[in-house]
Amino acid sequence: MFRRRPTATSEVLDTDQAALDADSAESRARPAVTAPKGVPTPKRSEAQANRRQPYQAPADRKTAARQARARDRDDRTRRTAAYQRGENWALPRKDQGPIRALARDVVDARRGIGEFYMIIVLLLIVLLVVPSQTVKLAGEGVVIALLALAVGEGWFLSVRTKRLAKERYPGQSVQGIVLYVTMRNISLRRLRVPKPRVRPGDKI
C-alpha cells in the first residue's frame, strides 16, 4: 500500500556498483600485458605488431646458402670470442673444468723464465748455424739447461696448483695437470689461449 521511495544513498550505491562492473569488464577485455611504470599499456594492435614474425624460407638456394654461411660465420666468431675469454662451454675438453681454470690462473699470475722459453730457443737455433764448434756446444748446453729450468718451473707450479685444488675443489681429479701447467708456462703470455684473466702479481 505504501511504497518506499529509493533514497539518495541507495542510488549512489547502485551507481558505484555499475562503475565497478564496468571497470571489471574493461580489465577482463584488456590484454594481459604489464606496461613499465610510467608507460601506458600498449594497444592490442601494437602488441601484435611487436611479436616475432614467422620464419620465411629463402626464395632460392643461393639466398639460403648465403644465409647459412652468415649464420656459421657469426657462430664461429661468437665461439672464438668465448674461447678466448675462457667460457667453459666454448673450451675444448682439455681446457674445461675449474681445475684447469685454476691452473691457468696460477701460471698467469707470475712472470717466469718459461714464458720466454720459445724466444730464447729461437735465438739459440740461430747461434747453432754458426760454424764454430764452441758456439754450437755452448748453445746446446744452454738449450738443455733452459729446458730443465722450464720443466722444473712447471713442476713447481703444478704442485701449487694441486695444493690449491685440494683446498678449493676436494675430490676432483688433477690428472695431467703437470703437463698442462708446463705447456702453458712456456707459451708467450700474449699468445696464451684462453687469454689470461689475472695479472702478474695477483693473488690466487
Which grid coordinates are listed for 168?
A: 678449493
The answer to whether 197 and 86 are in contact (CB under 8 A) is yes
Residues of the chain with pLDDT under 70: 1-58
3-state secondary structure of 30: coil
Instruction: Look at residue 48 in the predicted model and tell me its pLDDT.
Output: 59
Instruction: Look at residue 28 in the predicted model and tell me its pLDDT.
Output: 47
Instruction: Look at residue 80 in the predicted model and tell me its pLDDT.
Output: 87
Instruction: Look at residue 38 in the predicted model and tell me its pLDDT.
Output: 54
Nearest CA-CA partner of 163 in 149, 177, 150, 179: 177
Query: Is pTM beyond 0.95 here?
Result: no
Instruction: Look at residue 13 in the predicted model and tell me its pLDDT.
Output: 40
